[in-house]
Every structure is written in C-alpha cells, then in structure tokens.
C-alpha cells in the first residue's frame, strides 16, 4: 500500500505526498525510469523553460581530484 492510499484510508491529507507521487509518475510515463529522484527536478526545469548546462570536463576534473570511494563514476553521471 502506498502512503497516499493509507492517508486516504485514514482521512489524513497528504498534499505533498500526492504532489511528489504525481511528479514521479509523470517522469515514469515519460520513460525516465533511470533518472531516479532527478525526474521531478527535470519536470520543474522544463515547466520554467530553464536549461542547465554542464561542462562534463569540469565534472571529470572534480572526479579525478576526488574520486568516489570505489573509483567508479557516480551513478547517472554518464561519464566514461
């Protein structure tokens, strides 16, 4: 049972949980399963008309100076 269903069953308002669930569901409907918790943020950026540009070389420089504990790129970083 989802927390939102439990809230309905107990007559507890779950406004934020419902909003979060809707955002995650929309991300999944768009095929963003692999975006994890970033999909609601991407939806907000899209609605605002903003684009975040990332210089992958700069990210790689940071990872080279301070690598993750196992020496692998962070999940979802798409750096190879």
Full 3-state SS string of 16-65? HHHHHHHHHHHHHHCCCHHHHHHHHHHHHHHHHCCCCCCCHHHHHHHHHH
Q: What is the pLDDT of residue 76?
A: 63
Main-chain dihedrals φ then ψ at residue 22, nearest 5 degrees: -65, -40
Distance CA 10, CA 17 (A): 14
pTM of the model: 0.54
Region 32-38: what's the mean pLDDT? 81
- Residue with structure tokens 């970033």? 38
First-residue to last-residue Cα distance in the chain? 39
Provide the percentage of residues in the chain whose pLDDT is more than 70.
Answer: 86
């Amino acid at each position: 049972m989802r927390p939102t269903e439990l809230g309905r069953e107990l007559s507890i308002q779950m406004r934020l949980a419902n909003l979060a669930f809707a955002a995650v569901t929309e991300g999944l409907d768009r095929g963003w399963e692999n975006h994890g918790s970033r999909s609601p943020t991407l939806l907000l950026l899209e609605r605002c008309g903003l684009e975040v540009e990332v210089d992958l070389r700069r990210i790689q420089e940071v990872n080279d100076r301070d690598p993750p504990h196992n020496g692998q790129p962070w999940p979802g970083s798409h750096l190879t």
